[in-house]
Amino acid sequence: MYDNLIDKYNIPGPRYTSYPTVPYWDINTFSLKNWTTSVKRSFIQSNDDEGISLYIHLPFCESMCTFCGCNKRITKRHEVETPYIKTLLKEWQLYLNLFETKPKIKELHLGGGTPTFFSPKNLDYLINGIFLGVEQAQDCELSFEGHPNNTTKEHLQALYNVGFRRVSFGVQDYDPIVQKAIHRIQPFENVKYVTNTAREIGYTSVGHDIIFGLPFQTEKAVRDTIEKTKELKPDRLAFYSYAHVPWQKGNGQRGFLDSDLPTAEQKRKQYEIGKKLLSKAGYVEIGMDHFALQNDTLYQSMQNQTLHRNFMGYTASKTHMMIGLGVSAISDSWYGFAQNVKNIEEYQHLVREGIIPVYRGHILTKEDEIIRQHILNLMCHFKTDWEQDELYFKELPEVLQNIKELEKDGLLIINDNYIQVTEKGRPFVRNICMAFDLRLQRNKPETMLFSMTI
């Protein structure tokens, strides 16, 4: 029966790190002027109470990983570091110029690309430049993504010295056949070294990213990877499905054939095996695709109902505004989204000219704000309600009718004023969110836009 549900609901769908999702942004009515207006509005309303989040995109990698769908530049020329950092700091100054008071940073995350492509000295220079003239919230959380093969003790120490306490290492899978296929050769010893070194230095949250559904991956490979992971006991885990989107421009997912990938049924078995093993090891499932030990802030935020989701994924630090700095970075003012240009040279040129380098975006309508809240509720808490009038929308009866089939299959419970996703339905939460996604329902794509939901 479970396999039948997989066949039934395994369709292309968004991961809902935003609503509306990027393909449904209204870019024709978007402008830099209305974007900066939304940023000023959000800053006034949220800075004093909760602060703001920063995401900094560091796009350089020394080699191509063929599972990766991120925006990156492959190079071994490290002289690109300093000019890029200077551009980041100037872009940040362009945003600071919009604020009437000193911003309070609640969360900062370095993503990529490979943040540890940059030298420890340059990362120190970047972070100190970002915090010059701003305030850090008392519970400010600083985190970065580390590559186990090139994250040195010096990297970890330098970032610790400027306030970082959380690091996430991209593990993916330990099977040599899988690693060769995705061009990510990293022995267990490398991951063990950086994990232990981070803890010795004083990092309080060490995370690992593991992927299922990779080319040539088997159930045995997943079991072996989880067993090795249990040995290192990271505080939190992202255990998620490989998103196969080779049609996206600039994507490097072309080093293997579609026939090399596990089937949907095999992927779901890999997920169930991994979930069961992680549960036995003391990990609690957080939202979709994330797991944490009970000492981790991600678990604690789930318990106190403050878990949040944005373009960085699940986060324990809920802020209404997130500024994305760097090439291709996406910002969220709560009232709108904006994405930076994707070409490094164009990005640097615009910033040199004193222009915030966004090239597309979306300003949310009142309807968007309502639907976003329902999708956030479902993604973070597996339930949503419309007891308050402001969360009711006129298409709701139609949406509830459309999810009757999901209820019949035991994936959710519909009540008078709320719906609750069942334990059985959690792997299908993206499908449930799609029923609320009015922009998707009104304009279903004729071509493939998203990865498969299962």
Residue 359 among known ligand-binding residues: no
More confident residue, 378 or 315: 378
Tokens of 46: 């949220």
Residue 410 among known ligand-binding residues: no
More confident residue, 443 or 282: 282
The domain over range 1-20+365-454 is classified in CATH as 1.10.10.920:
yes
Residue 316 among known ligand-binding residues: no
CA–CA separation, 247 vs 224, rounded Å? 31
Residue 184 among known ligand-binding residues: yes
Cβ neighbours of 322 (radius 10 Å): 26
Q: Which residues contact 345 (CB under 8 A, 6 or more apart)?
A: none
Residue 82 among known ligand-binding residues: no
Residue 70 among known ligand-binding residues: no
Name the helix (H) or strand (E) containing 420: strand 418-421
pLDDT at res. 66: 78
The domain over range 22-363 is classified in CATH as 3.60.20.10:
no
pLDDT at res. 54: 97
Give pTM, 2 decimals.
0.92
Contact predicate 165/235, CB 8 Å:
no
> In 3-state terms, what secondary structure has residue 449?
coil
First to last CA, the chain: 15
Residue-wise pLDDT tens digits, 209-222: 999 999 999 999 99
Pairing of strands 313-315, 308-310: antiparallel
Residue-wise pLDDT tens digits, 291-331: 999 999 999 999 988 899 988 889 888 899 999 999 999 99
pLDDT score of 247 more than 50 = no
Q: Across the chain, what does the average pLDDT equal?
A: 91
Residue 380 among known ligand-binding residues: no
CA–CA separation, 253 vs 242, rounded Å? 11
95, amino acid identity: Y
Residue 61 among known ligand-binding residues: yes
Residue 354 among known ligand-binding residues: no
Residue 114 among known ligand-binding residues: yes
pLDDT at res. 264: 79
Residue 209 among known ligand-binding residues: yes
| Domain range annotation of the chain | 1-20+365-454, 22-363
Residue-wise pLDDT tens digits, 61-91: 988 887 777 888 999 999 999 999 999 999 9
